[in-house]
């Protein structure tokens, strides 16, 4: 077997570039050094004065989390694929002989960032980069939420009652190992889907209600460029509408219109938007036990053309990056969903830059 050399590796990398390496496009378009101040502060590695093996570069570790999020990888799988794939090594700036962070190191990086609450600052840092590049929030904003699955918990009815009341079940209190594996923040809810026509041509009388366990990702995107501008993570049973008044609206948008589905239509929300200077384009609800008036149907249909654009954000996150929460607790779920939102904005930036280049 022929022994591979430097030029063989370079030839393989050139071929990967020709096939369209997404990570190479990330390196060209995204300035990862912009994240360094926040990463240095959050990770707070030792300066090495006490000896020991030097820590990995914070930007390198963040880029590993980007790879992990892009490909929906576990920590162990991430370690393996960095060692295995030339495209991953090139993106990280690693050579074949360089030391690669192991799964434990990746896990500790996520833990430190979570404990420091750094994900919001990292998101804001990239949002500032987008604004500096000319991608200002424009033409109004669109709000929506999607369910994000988490590993199901097997709890008794008494334990579920304690969790809903915000208490730690008595049987868990003296078992720290068990407690660390129990998600006390995720909740069950019902996911409604439209009923499908049966084989005989009939339509079921009601829609389907599917039990769902996990969290909920709430976002606000700008209508012009469709970047996520504001976001929030809650348990799956949280109300969509109430989040509108909890910092989900972007006051820096150049237009005042707000689009959302009927879950966001309430008197409190309408009053809040009016006081804050926003113009409500929220869908109106069907009157109880009455047919929907024709003019409201027509108005909602016109709003749907714009509001539906937010669905593409969630479709991209779930189909392209397989958005799923593997961790335990709301803090780590927020970290996971926040990373997914940053990566979505990065991918969206790549798309818009290619569009501008071809224009």
Q: Is the pLDDT of residue 2 over 60?
A: no
Query: To the nearest whole number, what is the mean pLDDT of the chain?
Result: 90
Q: Domain boundaries in the chain?
A: 7-116, 136-150+213-358
What pLDDT shows up at residue 1? 43
What pLDDT shows up at residue 94? 92
- C-alpha distances in angstroms, 19 versus 41, 47, 107, 308, 351? 38, 41, 32, 33, 17
Section 82-86 average pLDDT: 92
Q: Is the pLDDT of residue 5 over 70?
A: no
What pLDDT shows up at residue 147? 94
What pLDDT shows up at residue 63? 97
Q: Is the pLDDT of residue 140 over 70?
A: yes
List pLDDT tens digits, range 230-250. Answer: 999 999 999 999 999 999 999
- Fold of domain 136-150+213-358: Nucleotidyltransferase; domain 5 (3.30.420)
What pLDDT shows up at residue 15? 84
What pLDDT shows up at residue 7? 59
Q: Which residue has the tokens 């609800």?
A: 285
Section 92-118 average pLDDT: 94
263: pLDDT confidence band, cut at 50, 70 and 90? Answer: very high
What pLDDT shows up at residue 178? 81
List pLDDT tens digits, range 145-190. Answer: 999 999 888 888 888 888 888 888 888 888 888 888 888 899 999 8
What pLDDT shows up at residue 202? 73
Residues above pLDDT 70, as percent of the chain: 94
List pLDDT tens digits, range 277-335. Answer: 999 999 999 888 888 899 999 999 999 999 999 999 999 999 888 888 888 899 999 99
Q: Is the pLDDT of residue 135 over 80?
A: yes
Query: Each residue of 40-76: b (16+ CB within 10 Å) or e?
Result: eebbeeeeeeeeeeebbbbbbbbbbbbbbbbeebebe
Of 172, 37, 61, which is closest to residue 109 (Cα–Cα)? Answer: 61
pTM for the predicted model, two decimal places: 0.90
**Distance separating alpha carbons of residues 295 and 284, to the nearest angstrom:** 11
């Amino acid at each position: 077997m022929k022994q591979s050399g430097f030029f063989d590796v370079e030839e393989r990398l050139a071929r990967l570039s020709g096939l369209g390496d997404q990570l190479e496009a990330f390196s060209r378009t995204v300035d990862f050094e912009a994240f360094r101040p926040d990463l240095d502060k959050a990770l707070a590695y030792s300066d090495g004065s006490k000896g020991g093996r030097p820590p990995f570069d914070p930007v390198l570790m963040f880029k590993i989390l980007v790879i992990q999020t892009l490909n929906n990888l576990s920590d162990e799988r991430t370690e393996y694929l960095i060692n295995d794939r030339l495209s991953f090594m090139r993106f990280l700036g690693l050579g074949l002989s360089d030391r690669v962070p192991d799964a434990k190191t990746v896990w500790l990086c996520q833990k430190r960032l979570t404990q420091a609450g750094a994900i919001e600052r990292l998101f804001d840092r990239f949002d500032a980069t987008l604004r500096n590049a000319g991608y200002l929030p424009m033409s109004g904003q669109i709000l929506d939420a999607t369910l994000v699955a988490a590993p199901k918990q097997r709890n008794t009815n008494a334990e579920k009652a304690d969790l809903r009341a915000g208490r730690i079940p008595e049987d868990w209190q003296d078992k720290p190992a068990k407690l660390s594996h129990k998600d006390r923040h995720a909740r069950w809810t019902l996911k409604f889907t439209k009923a499908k026509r049966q084989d005989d041509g009939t339509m079921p009388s009601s829609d389907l209600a599917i039990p769902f366990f996990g969290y909920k990702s709430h976002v606000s995107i700008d209508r012009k460029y469709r970047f996520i501008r504001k976001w929030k993570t809650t348990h799956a049973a949280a109300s969509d509408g109430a989040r509108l008044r909890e910092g989900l609206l972007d006051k820096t948008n150049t237009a005042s219109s707000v689009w959302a589905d009927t879950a966001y239509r309430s008197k409190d929300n309408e009053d809040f938007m009016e006081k804050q200077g926003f113009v409500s384009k929220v869908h109106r609800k069907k009157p109880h036990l009455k047919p929907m008036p024709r003019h409201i149907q027509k108005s909602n249909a016109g709003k749907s053309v714009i509001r539906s654009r937010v669905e593409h954000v969630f479709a991209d996150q779930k189909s392209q990056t397989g958005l799923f929460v593997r961790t335990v607790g709301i803090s780590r779920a927020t970290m996971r969903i926040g990373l997914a939102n940053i990566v979505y904005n990065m991918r969206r930036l790549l798309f818009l830059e290619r569009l501008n280049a071809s224009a």
